[in-house]
Amino acid sequence: MSSQQNSTQSRLTTSAMPDINNQQVSQSTGGATNSNDADNFTSNGSEPGQIFSSSSGGQMGEEKEEKVASLPANVLAETDHTLSPVNFSNIEVNIKNVALLNLNPGIVILVSITLMILGLAIDNAWIGFMAALVTLAVSLRIILPNWSKIWVQLVPETWRAIVVSCLGLIAGSVGLLMLSGANQAPDSRNIHINWEAIGAVGEVVGALGQILIAIIAVYVAWRQYVISKELTIQQNRITQQQTIDAYFQGVSDLALSDEGLLEDWPQERAIAEGRTAAILSSVDSEGKAKIIRFLSQSKLLTPLQRDRHLGRPIFDGDGGYAEDRVHGVRVIYLGVMLAGADLAGTDLRWTELSEANLVRANLKNCDLVKANLSRTILYEANLTGADLMGTRLFYGKAETASPRNRTDPPNYKTGEFTGAVIENADMTNVQRLSDAQRYYCCAWGGSKTRATIPGGCEEIPNKLGR
């Protein structure tokens, strides 16, 4: 009796063990069913998505229910939670959708074209027709959303209206040709298509298309040239600015002592002038203007009062260096560095250009407000449209001032020999010319300069005599 009970108990234990093992496997895999259970459910004809379903063998179902019922309560609770129904149909549908989304449209188009060619080869109209429809549908599905991007990238904004106008011209010409009397039979309002005329129009359109392609090619080449030129100019500007910055630092280190005081020995001044002459000949007009402004604001172009023994500059008592127009020495003397220079349209406000040689210099539309041009040689210089408000052309009064010469020293009280040489200078349409400036220019500019001064020089004598 006891042996029979033990055998029965052992059978129940061994029959319950697979369910517990299945339960543990389902817990470790997130509730998924093993392959044996899936095979059993399929062979029993149960619906997918349900683990506990009715089978064809009722006795097997009852035995399984008895085995499950004999398990402890905590195991049953975990079993109910773990063996919950799973909807496999949704998983299959999602997998199909992902597979469809991952299809390459290019592959679909190539396959459709291949099928269309195959249909034409075997003389099967249905295969060719369906493949052509698929090719057309997929191609339109790709092109239509991106058509605006293609239009913007391929056709420049300035050419879009022209392209549309050409299409309108072609369409309008074809329409008028089809609607004209040449396409109508006598005493009939029906329209007959003149294919010969349409063929001629097609040839014209083809020729126009080739011309348009050639024009677009020329335009693209021209745009590439313009872009390359702009990049080159920009790179040259960057290189020039770096050169000018290095010049500023070099001149500052050369002229200043360790304490920050101006200390320019004769050889140092000569080196500074050599550097200035070299860089002024290698930069453009804007670069020249930057250098002149820097040297003017740093007082390196101003004649400074010097100690007669050591030649060092003397302080003026107000925190700066004293000026001496008669006997002063400049750190950098421009001399002929700017002769014939192109400074048109540059900013030269408050610059020190006294005693500089600007023979045949181009100062057109230049801003010379408060600039010092006393004793400057402006022979045949172009001052057209320059702003001369407050520009110093001489010292003293205009009636007593006179241009510089090679022999006589300047008199800064009376103005004799302190003025600029403006003979044959072009002063057409100069801006904000004062009465004193106009008197001096008319008196010492000569007949050619007098003819260009705004307001005329009828009442002012020609002291130059030529």
Place 89 in a pLDDT band, splitting at 50, 70 and 90. very low
Q: Give the confidence band of 128 by pLDDT, cuts at 50, 70, 90.
A: confident
Lowest-confidence region among 7-11, 289-293, 409-413, 414-418: 7-11
Among 78, 94, 110, give the residue marking a domain's end: 94
State the residue range of the domain holding 453.
334-466
Domain boundary among 46, 66, 94: 94
What Cα–Cα distance (Å) separates residue 186 from each residue in 150, 175, 182, 192, 201?
Answer: 47, 20, 10, 11, 24
Q: Model confidence over 333-377: pLDDT tens digits?
A: 999 999 999 999 999 999 999 999 999 999 999 999 999 999 999
Q: How many domains does the chain have?
A: 2
Task: Among 94, 111, 130, give the residue marking a domain's end.
Answer: 94
Query: Which has the closest alpha carbon to 125: 134, 116, 133?
Result: 116
174 in a structural domain: no
Q: What does residue 262 show for φ and ψ, rounded to 5 degrees?
A: -70, 120
In a domain, 118, yes or no: no
SS (H, E, C) 379-419: CCCECCCCECCCCECCCCCCCCCCECCCCCCCCCCCCCCCE
Amino acid at 103: L
Does residue 186 belong to any structural domain of this protein? no
pLDDT per residue as tens digits for the range 389-432: 999 999 999 999 999 999 999 999 999 999 999 999 999 999 99
Q: What are phi and psi of 372, to 5 degrees?
A: -100, 110
Question: 382 pLDDT exceeds 60?
Answer: yes
Residue 208 lies in a domain: no
Position 3 pLDDT exceeds 50: no
- Does any domain span residue 220? no
Asked whether residue 247 is assigned to any structural domain, the reply reads: no
**Within a domain: residue 289?**
no
- pTM beyond 0.85: no
The verdict on residue 88 lying in a domain is: yes
pLDDT at 161: 82
Higher pLDDT, 180 or 389: 389
Chain segment 92-123, per-residue pLDDT in tens: 444 444 444 456 878 888 888 888 888 888 87
In this predicted model, which residue has the larger pLDDT, 173 or 132?
Answer: 132
The pLDDT value recorded for residue 324 is 94
| Per-residue pLDDT at 185 | 53
